[in-house]
Amino acid sequence: MAPYTPPAPTQGLNGQSYEYHCDVAALPVGPAEPTWLTAPDITGLQPNPSPKTADGTTYANRGQDDTSTIGETFTVAFDAKAVKNSEGKVQPFIAMLLAAAQANIKGGDPTKKVIKVRVYHEWIEELSWEFTAEVSFQRKNTGNADIEFFSFTLTSKGDREVVENPALVTP
């Protein structure tokens, strides 16, 4: 047997964290395509698929698990920097996310509770999903001199699907 030789690092360019993107849209009416709003001022984007399992163990398994994946819980979390425009308004993607998160409170608009989301990577073709989601948020920074960031969590309604990567579509 030949002696073990450790593998050399893979040659090429390293991928970067900022190469993930998130777009949001209101639910389209009828068969219309969504009008996507890009979320440029985000950081820490984290897609989180978690398997939903069912136990099928019987005595025949002799004490070993027989667990099947029957679905998933999928969330996307990220922080978004609030930037005011010349009219003192926040970016449109943040306004949409805040409206969705507050749709069920008094004064909110329940028709804005669920939004469309797509998350994709700039060059990894397989990392491109579209789904509907409910939104929650918290303030990230609370210090006296901190920059305002919101921490958003987008929770899929169970309809996540792999879609053609919009960053790689040729016109």
Could you read off the pLDDT of 33-49 as tens digits, one per residue?
999 999 999 999 999 99
Judge whether 121 and 128 are in contact, CB under 8 Å.
yes
Judged against a pLDDT cut of 90, whether residue 32 lies above it is answered with no
Q: How far apart are CA 81 and CA 49, in angstroms?
A: 24
Q: How far apart are CA 146 and CA 140, in angstroms?
A: 9
CA-wise closest residue to 118 among 37, 23, 36, 47: 23
- For 5, the token pair is 């030789």
CA-wise closest residue to 34 among 77, 96, 78, 94: 96
Q: Which residues contact 102 (CB under 8 A, 6 or more apart)?
A: 108
- For 126, the token pair is 């397989």
Judged against a pLDDT cut of 80, whether residue 171 lies above it is answered with no
- Whole-prediction pTM value? 0.88
The mean predicted confidence, pLDDT, of the chain is 94
Residue 170's pLDDT band, with cuts at 50, 70 and 90, is: confident
What is the SS3 assignment for 59-106? HHHCCCCCEEEEEEEEEEEEEEECCCCCCCCCCHHHHHHHHHHCCCCC
Judge whether 9 and 48 are in contact, CB under 8 Å.
no
Domain ranges of the chain: 41-50+74-171
**67-100 tens-digit pLDDT:** 999 999 999 999 999 999 999 999 999 999 999 9
**Rounded average pLDDT over 105-134:** 95
